[in-house]
Structure 1
Amino acid sequence: MFNHFVRALIDWAFRRRSVGLTLIRIGLPLIGLVLVGLTVGVTIPTADGPFVFSWDSAGGGSALLSWSVFIVVTFIVLLGAALIIRDVHREGRQKVIVIEARGLRDWQGEALEKAVPALVKGRREQVMVDVRQGLVDGQIVSPEVAIRRLSSIPDDISRRCAGLDRADISFVLGGLAPVPLLFLLGVIVDDESHTLIMDWDRTRRMWRPLDEEDDGKRFTVVGLDVVSSGTTRVALCVSASYDVLDADVRQVEPTALIVRMELEGRSTASHWSEHKQQQLAQQFLDVVMALARRGVTDIALFLAAPASISLRFGTVYDKRNLPQVELNQFEQADPKKYPWAVRMPVAGLTQAQLIQR
């Protein structure tokens, strides 16, 4: 606890702007001037001869004035120190839970916890979810193990958040894992608390916040208007990086109506704007809500998207009021193309379920 207080104090001194720090910066030089004894003299030439103004803190009324200044600036410095201690103590109550999903074989990258920006206030606690067991040639052959590990996260989060005010808790999410597992992680954490989503930059080989400008490109929605009232199952194909092909979808959903969301100018590097992702997530949510209003109760979701978008879509998916959703895993080398899927714990389902084909 003491070490955290020292680190937080250093943050305040060198990286943060605060009222308390400003007061100290103003007060300390004034105290120094009073203590060393300041003599000020100003001569202004006038028509009647020079006008001389001088003040010597060492004598007479000036001494009284110096002591008055000293008392005032000392109070300012003490007030500043009290404000800093208050803020550091308040920050000490805050906790940042950093959840990283690792699903790549031979991962040698930096831990997400070390890349969290300094502006995210609070004690860091890392939750590492390693889903690499069951990997064969880069493919997960035992997704049930990964699902079981992810399903234990709510209990872990509850333990870490016990006794804390919700306002003092924030989350940082990131990971490199199959899309269904990232979406599931987003569903588990949801967006009820402040959540920062980060992504791995494969070019720079580093974790990054979503700090680029919004290019204004959004999803084009196709097929929603043909979903008639009473349709219960729909295949929702979201192409945010690669293309989701109808021919692949038809192997596992031969009869379901297909609704497509296709991101204009999509690529594997068109997702680095926080504002853009928020808008894309809102579009996704709007389409799902529109399907629900038409009576759809089951959504087969086919999502081709970067990790951060997969996480974000999971965080915005309402567990209680939206249709049941199963997210399909794409495997290029598999003849089925979508050999397994995860049925999400929403719409009354308490635990995620694996659909193995």
Structure 2
Amino acid sequence: MSLLHKVFDTLLTAVSKVVDFALRRRSFPLRIFRAGLILIGATAAGSWVSSLFYADDVRALSLHIEISGGTPELITWLAFMIGLVLTAVGGVWEAIRFAEEERKEEERRARRRVVVIEQRGLAKSSGSPLKDALPKDVVGVPQSILLDHTPYVENNSVTDPERVVGEVATVRHDLERSVSDVAREDVTVVYGGVSPVPLTFLAGFLLDDDGAVRIVDWDRGEARWRSLDGADDGERFIVDGFDRVPRGAAEVAVAVEVSYAVDADAVGRSLGAVPVVRLSLPTIDKDNHWSDAKQRALAAQFLKVVSDLGNRGVRTIHLFLVAQNSVVFRLGQRYDQRNLPEVLVHQYEKTANPPHPWAVKMPTHGINRPVVVRRAPLAVQHPTDHSA
């Protein structure tokens, strides 16, 4: 049965290609080809209608029309031969034109450059290189920019934040250098990664005006790279705490909850009494981010909140993100380095003291390079000994 299905599918594909070639494609050679088919069909139709016969139980009718010799027969054969010539000329011309199109398309594909930016920064990062798993619709010669932070990660803690931040800080320069010999329209940028939040946000921040970046993410359940091809479920951030921010506040914490909830107690221990604005999805889940349209809408909401905080006089935003890598990268892309408050993106390490031991200050307001800001350990509270 499967063999019959394969034969049928092959025939169906062949018929579809013939129909597409003969009827749907548009070009001058094909107009000639179709005109020839019409002429051939017209001459054939003349022979089909030359004899008609009808019979049933009570009667029989016969109609016979024959055109033979003279001008009508000459015209019929002349039209038939012209139709053959037009069909042959149009078909050969179109085949040559189509082959030339394919050759130019191959040259265009060879010219196209696909710059694959991959961040690896967690101990359990993907073992599958992104450059070997590009979406099928991405065409071009792949060139990889690998930001591998794993040598500086131990027990899910970054041992040398300054070193890895310095590596990420060059990503814009690395991208520009890799495409310096290629026209802009022939470049596609694909980004994906599994890395600590501040480093991912920084990468997006530095690639902010590359709107053509194709973002993919690592599907942990299926253990593969995946495009953001899911349906938009319509969920958007619920914003809480904005109205409690005093005008002119020096510092505000913004907690973004997408995949898990932000550890509110840890934020308080790291910053102290700082107003907190919370952006939370109604359904917090590790697989709620696979829609590109949804991510764009969430990024627009995020941008509006931080912009409104700036308009409220806030000078510094402390950002605490618990979200998937692609979401963090996109939020970094949307953060305007010229018109928004300065922003520090904090690294969360649950067992560290403090639980947010360092943050990355993004290069805004005259700061040319990202800066690592470390926090001093908190004083350990020992229970009072009341023994005599």
TM-score if structure 2 supplies the norm length?
Answer: 0.77
Distance 1:204 1:43, change over 3 A: same
- In the alignment, which of 250, 259, 264 is matched to residue 232 of structure 1? 250
Superposed displacement of residue 60, structure 1:
6.0
Which protein is bigger by CA-based radius of gyration? 2
Superposed displacement of residue 218, structure 1:
1.0
Asked if the contact 1:151–1:352 (Cα under 8 Å) also holds between the matched residues in 2, the reply is: yes
2:64 maps to 1:49: yes
RMSD over aligned CA atoms reads 3.1
SS at match of 2:114: strand
Q: Which amino acid aligns with 1:259?
A: V
Mark the runs of 5 or more structure 2 residues left unpaired by the alignment: 1-16, 53-61, 376-388
2:338 maps to 1:320: yes
2:313 maps to 1:308: no
1:55 and 1:103 map into 2 onto residues whose CA distance is: 82
Superposed displacement of residue 311, structure 1:
0.8
- In the alignment, which of 283, 305, 321 is matched to residue 287 of structure 1? 305
2:131 and 2:245 map into 1 onto residues whose CA distance is: 44
Asked if the contact 1:40–1:55 (Cα under 8 Å) also holds between the matched residues in 2, the reply is: no
2:21 and 2:325 map into 1 onto residues whose CA distance is: 36
Superposed displacement of residue 64, structure 1:
4.3
* CA shift digits 1:230-250 (9 cap, x unpaired): 223211111111111322111
Question: Sequence identity of aligned pairs in percent?
Answer: 32
Q: Which amino acid aligns with 1:48?
A: L
Could you say which residue in structure 2 is the equivalent of 1:144? 162
2:219 maps to 1:204: no
- In the alignment, which of 181, 188, 200 is matched to residue 182 of structure 1? 200
Superposed displacement of residue 51, structure 1:
5.6
Could you say which residue in structure 2 is the equivalent of 1:83? 101
2:190 maps to 1:156: no
Correspondences of 1:1-357 after superposition (within 5 Å)? 22=25, 42-44=47-49, 45-46=51-52, 47-49=62-64, 62-105=80-123, 107=125, 109-357=127-375
1:226 and 1:270 map into 2 onto residues whose CA distance is: 29
Q: Which moved more, 1:217-226 or 1:104-113?
A: 104-113
Asked if the contact 2:125–2:194 (Cα under 8 Å) also holds between the matched residues in 1, the reply is: no
SS at match of 2:363: coil
Q: Which amino acid aligns with 1:347?
A: H
SS at match of 1:300: strand
1:256 and 1:148 map into 2 onto residues whose CA distance is: 29
Distance 1:40 1:204, change over 3 A: same
Q: Which amino acid aligns with 2:336?
A: D
2:73 and 2:318 map into 1 onto residues whose CA distance is: 83
1:270 and 1:62 map into 2 onto residues whose CA distance is: 64
* CA shift digits 1:137-173 (9 cap, x unpaired): 2321112221111112222111112143333322111
* CA shift digits 1:251-303 (9 cap, x unpaired): 22113211111111111111111111111111101101101111112111011
* CA shift digits 1:24-75 (9 cap, x unpaired): 9x96xx79x99xx99958433335315689999xx86644442233222222
SS at match of 2:359: strand
1:52 and 1:344 map into 2 onto residues whose CA distance is: 89
Superposed displacement of residue 22, structure 1:
4.4
Could you say which residue in structure 2 is the equivalent of 1:4? none
Asked if the contact 1:238–1:261 (Cα under 8 Å) also holds between the matched residues in 2, the reply is: yes
1:271 and 1:69 map into 2 onto residues whose CA distance is: 54
Q: Which amino acid aligns with 1:307?
A: N
Asked if the contact 1:271–1:309 (Cα under 8 Å) also holds between the matched residues in 2, the reply is: yes
Q: Which amino acid aligns with 1:349?
A: I
